[in-house]
Amino acid sequence: MGVRELFDLTGRTALVTGGSRGLGLQIAEALCELGARVALVARKRDELDAAVAHLASACGATGATATGVACDLAVAAAIPGMVAQAESALDAPIDILVNNAGATWGAPTVDLPLAAWQKVVDLNLTAMFIVTQEVGRRAMVPRRRGKVINVASILGLGGGHHDERRPATLAYNTTKGGVVNFTRALAVEWGAHGINVNAIAPGFFPTKMTKGILEMLGDDAANAAPLRRTGGTEDLKGVVALLASDAGAFITGQIVAVDGGVTAM
């Protein structure tokens, strides 16, 4: 098989949580550009409709299609129905799962409300577990194949850097560390089923979640990376293409930092 064929996702189906904007939409765009049919999950119907229209314009030449499924992943009981709805819309079991939905909360640890901690844990870890369990149960484990890609963060790889201009994000950092070991543990368990489980750990990318921090840090956010810039609108596509396709068939349990070299320092 040639290299182009290894990356071809024609006929594959993908579910991307938090897929209506930011990194999730960039990931979805990469998948559909390679031919996959994509179901996007987010809370807001208007943002989903806009994202689906964007993908139709960006990926129409490939023949790939996109659909949106509205669901608040913080409501655990809603997740099984969401997965069933996505499979129905895709008219096939899910081949590729991207767990991207997440939340953060900035506050000094001594002031962090328990409700805020629980909100971040519920979305960043518990919802990811339930989505993965449901997709595994319905689609991947019975068919003995599948690709799971979790979106962690470089803040889950260490304690982070103290900067008085940035609010502390203990709950976010802790849950993203959980995503890292969730990925490794599940890769070991599901390897026997022929399922690849990997994670991407982005550095600073301009998104709605990071907007305030990037404005506070100014040029320092870019200068902190050896490549002297923050992430762009194409910078996750290559690693997603690798981990979602047959090109990454022998890669599992890995955490790939996409951070301009920050974690190399």
Percentage of residues in the chain having pLDDT higher than 70? 93
What pLDDT band is residue 135 in, cutting at 50, 70 and 90?
Answer: very high
pLDDT tens-digit map of 47-63: 999 999 999 998 888 88
Q: How much is the pLDDT for 220?
A: 67
pLDDT surpasses 80 at 116 = yes
CA distance 182 to 9: 26
**What are the structural domain ranges in the chain?**
3-258
CATH number of 3-258: 3.40.50.720
Q: How much is the pLDDT for 14?
A: 98
Answering whether pTM is above 0.85, one says yes
Q: Which residue numbers are catalytic?
A: 172
Distances in whole angstroms, Cα of residue 81 to Cα of each of 48, 75, 87, 88? 18, 11, 10, 10
* Sign of torsion over alpha carbons 74, 77, 83, 86: negative
In this structure, what DSSP letter does residue 218 have?
T
Distances in whole angstroms, Cα of residue 246 to Cα of each of 11, 28, 59, 94, 199? 13, 17, 20, 15, 16
Q: Evaluate whether 97 touches 15 at the Cβ level (below 8 Å).
A: yes
Query: What letter represents residue 53's amino acid?
Result: A
In this structure, what DSSP letter does residue 68 have?
E
Dihedral angle, C-alpha 233, 239, 244, 249, nearest 10 ° = 170
pLDDT surpasses 80 at 229 = yes
Distances in whole angstroms, Cα of residue 132 to Cα of each of 65, 154, 195? 23, 22, 12
Distance from the first to the final alpha carbon of the chain: 38
CA distance 168 to 90: 40
Q: In what order do the strands lie in the sheet with 255-258?
A: 66-70, 37-42, 13-17, 96-99, 146-151, 195-202, 255-258
Over the chain, what is the mean pLDDT? 93
pLDDT tens-digit map of 56-109: 998 888 889 999 999 999 999 999 999 999 999 999 999 999 999 999 998 999
CA distance 245 to 264: 27
CB 189: neighbour CB atoms within 10 A? 12
CB 214: neighbour CB atoms within 10 A? 16
